[in-house]
Amino acid sequence: MSRALVLFAHPCHESFSASLHQTVVERLDRAGWDIDNCDLNAEGFSPVLTAEERRAYHDEEQNIEPVRAYVERLEAADALILVFPVWNFGYPAILKGFLDRVFLPGVSFRIEGGKLRPNLTNIKRLAAVTTYGGTRTRAYFAGDPPRKCVTRAIRYVCQPEKMRYLALYDMNRASQAKRAAFLARVAREMEAF
């Protein structure tokens, strides 16, 4: 059975993001995935990269110690699904901190001959499920950093066979029907994932 690590990054369990998270988990389960459901807020993940961690960043013997359990979960996964809202054209701090603290040298990438090489090739499927308060045009003109990070940087270190970026734009004005349609799309994508 394949294992999916679902990273959820929203502090409010009554949010639309929480509904998306629940849909992702339910539909992956229905499709037969073994799910490692990681609610970063509920688990009390600390997003702060400490001075000691930064100093040991390039020391592969030491760098994973503070986050070993998360590294092991990431390395045990065949799929990675990120569920988060886009705030201020970026990730919630807890998710950005996860990437800073867990996507380390020797974990997500290797440096060989001065070049970066992918190291999370166990991740065969990658997905992001997200919402934006603003329109796609507004995100485009801001450079859409979350989309680029997932579809370029995270994709590069994983080299997945399948990737999806599912985004509901203009969430601030989305009708109930538009939200329901997006939930249905996420459900279909996760069942086929």
Domains present along the chain, CATH in parentheses:
3-191 (3.40.50.360)
Contact 165, 147 (CB under 8 A): yes
Contacts of range 27-31, beta carbons closer than 8 Å, 24 or more positions apart: 27/186, 27/187, 27/190, 27/191, 27/193, 28/4, 28/81, 28/190, 28/193, 30/191, 31/190, 31/191, 31/192, 31/193
Per residue in 134-147, pLDDT tens?
999 999 999 999 99
Residue 151: Cβ within 10 Å count: 16
Per residue in 97-134, pLDDT tens?
999 999 999 999 999 998 999 999 999 999 999 999 99
pLDDT at residue 100, rounded to an integer:
97
Question: Does the structure show a pLDDT above 90 at 1?
Answer: no
Q: Indicate the pTM of the whole model.
A: 0.96
Query: Which of 35, 16, 13, 38 lies closest to 26, judged by CA?
Result: 35
Per residue in 146-162, pLDDT tens?
999 999 999 999 999 99
User: What is the rounded CA–CA span in Å between residue 119 and residue 31?
Assistant: 27
User: What is the rounded CA–CA span in Å between residue 168 and residue 68?
Assistant: 33
Per residue in 174-192, pLDDT tens?
999 999 999 999 999 999 9
User: What is the rounded CA–CA span in Å between residue 72 and residue 150?
Assistant: 21
H helix count then E strand count, the chain: 8, 7
- Mean pLDDT across the chain: 97
pLDDT at residue 136, rounded to an integer:
94
Q: How much of the chain, in percent, has pLDDT values that exceed 70?
A: 100
CA 36 to chain centre: 13
Average pLDDT over residues 22-36: 98
